[in-house]
Amino acid sequence: MLANEKAVNQGVAPVTYGQGDRPPRGDYSAARADYTCEQNWSAYTAAEHDLYRRLYERQAAQLNGLACDEFIEAVQHLGKPERIPRFDELSEALYRHTRWEVVAVPGLIPEEAFFGLLAQRRFPVTGWLRKPEEFDYIVEPDVFHDLFGHVPLLFNPVFADYMQAYGAGGLKASRLDACELLARLYWYTVEFGLIQTPRGVRAYGAGILSSAGELRHSVRSAEPSRVGFDLQRIMRTRYKIDSYQATYFVIESFQQLFEATAPDFTPIYRAVRDLPEIEAGVVLPDERRIAAAD
């Protein structure tokens, strides 16, 4: 969601990651005005299907004890890992469960387009897959991150409703010039969220679940700070886009997440703007550190 838009003559404007001069990835020339496009499934090569399978199997092998049960149960909906899933087939199954669908996009998309799709219960999934040399780390989200990380929990009814509410809230935040504050909520929940369980903390954030190293780090390492979910605290907290997170926020349940985001954020944005920002990794004096899982 940290995006720079650049003008082009056809399709829609490409979007790049972060504030730097990275060229856009993905073909934006065939995208519709809402940034959706065709998945073009037949264009994936055998080598790409195989790379997807290797990514999938590496992550699936370490889910037990690190990912939350809801994710582990739902990941099977992605189907066999031998092939990159067809978005139309996945959408059919997803719609039956939670009335969500997945739609292809060329890559990163502008905030307004992103929020608009979420508000319509349409999750944008990048069409392209990373290169083999990006097996361990990739800057931009690719089809593996978007599918493996995000789509399973859209089969969970409460989380699915949270995502739609987030999209609707985003459209409103755009009008209130509060997108950066709301982006932090997405970052620390949808991308890098942890959840408390009777057996210790577990991961539910897509950025963690699709990362080879951060899954274990976020749940088991004593190094990062883990604190309880607090909406205003999250909106005040800066985050890192190029390293493991220094702070993770831990929810009690998806219901807690949904309920915390139900109120009108307008007065919350106002309150947050009057308070100092908090650097990633800092634990405030009145906060309780939550322990890593055994």
- Minimum separation from the CB atom of position 283 to Fe ion (A): 26
Distance (Å, rounded) from C-alpha 231 to C-alpha 22?
Answer: 32
**Rounded to 5 degrees, what angle do the CA atoms 111, 20, 224 make?**
80
Which tokens in the block code for residue 224? 């990062």
19-27, 128-136, 199-207, 213-221 -> range binding Fe ion (CB under 5 A): 199-207
What 133-139 contacts at long range (C-beta under 8 Å, 24+ apart), as own/partner pairs, is 135/51, 135/54, 135/55, 136/212, 136/213, 137/212, 139/17, 139/18, 139/22, 139/241, 139/242
C-beta of 187 vs 269, nearer to Fe ion: 187
210 in active site: yes
Write out the H or E segment, with its range, that includes residue 70.
Answer: helix 69-74
> What is the residue type of 48?
E
User: Which one of the listed residues 48, 191, 211, 214 is annotated catalytic?
Assistant: 191
Annotated active-site residue 191? The verdict is yes
- Residue 209 within binding range of Fe ion, rule CB under 5 A: no
The binding track of 133-172 with respect to Fe ion, each residue x by CB under 5 A or -, is --------x-------------------------------
d(CA 46, CA 37): 22
**By CB under 5 A, residue 203 contacts Fe ion:** no
| Residue range at the interface with Fe ion (CB under 5 A); choices 34-42, 200-208, 226-234, 248-256 | 200-208
Residue 12 or 151 with smaller CB distance to Fe ion: 151
Q: How far apart are CA 199 and CA 179, in angstroms?
A: 35
Which range touches Fe ion (CB under 5 A), out of 45-53, 178-186, 206-214, 234-242? 206-214
Task: Name the residue whose CB lies closest to Fe ion.
Answer: 206
- Closest contact distance (angstroms) between CB of 17 and Fe ion is 12
Tokens for 145?
């991150």
Size of the site for Fe ion (CB under 5 A): 2
Catalytic residue among 70, 101, 210, 217: 210
Known active-site residue 150:
yes
Quick one: tokens of 68? Answer: 């939350």
- Cα distance between residue 202 and residue 209, in whole Å: 10
Shortest Å, Cβ 7 to Fe ion: 26
Q: How many Cβ atoms are within 10 Å of 96's Cβ, its own excluded?
A: 9
Question: Taking CB under 5 A as the rule, does residue 206 contact Fe ion?
Answer: yes
CB 194 within 8 A of CB 248: yes
The least distance separating Fe ion from the CB of residue 144, rounded to whole angstroms, comes to 11
Q: Which is nearer to Fe ion, 206 or 219 (CB)?
A: 206
Q: Is 97 labeled as catalytic in the residue annotation?
A: no
The gap between the terminal CA atoms of the chain, to the nearest Å, is 34
What's the closest the beta carbon of residue 274 comes to Fe ion, in angstroms? 30
Which candidate, 218, 187, 183, places its Cα nearest to that of 200?
A: 218
Site string (240-259) toward Fe ion, x via CB under 5 A: --------------------
Of the pair 206, 292, the CB lying nearest Fe ion is at 206
Task: Name the DSSP letter for residue 37.
Answer: B
Residue 256 CB, nearest approach to Fe ion (Å): 21
> Under the rule (CB under 5 A), what is the footprint of Fe ion?
141, 206
For the annotated catalytic residues, the residue numbers are 145, 150, 191, 210
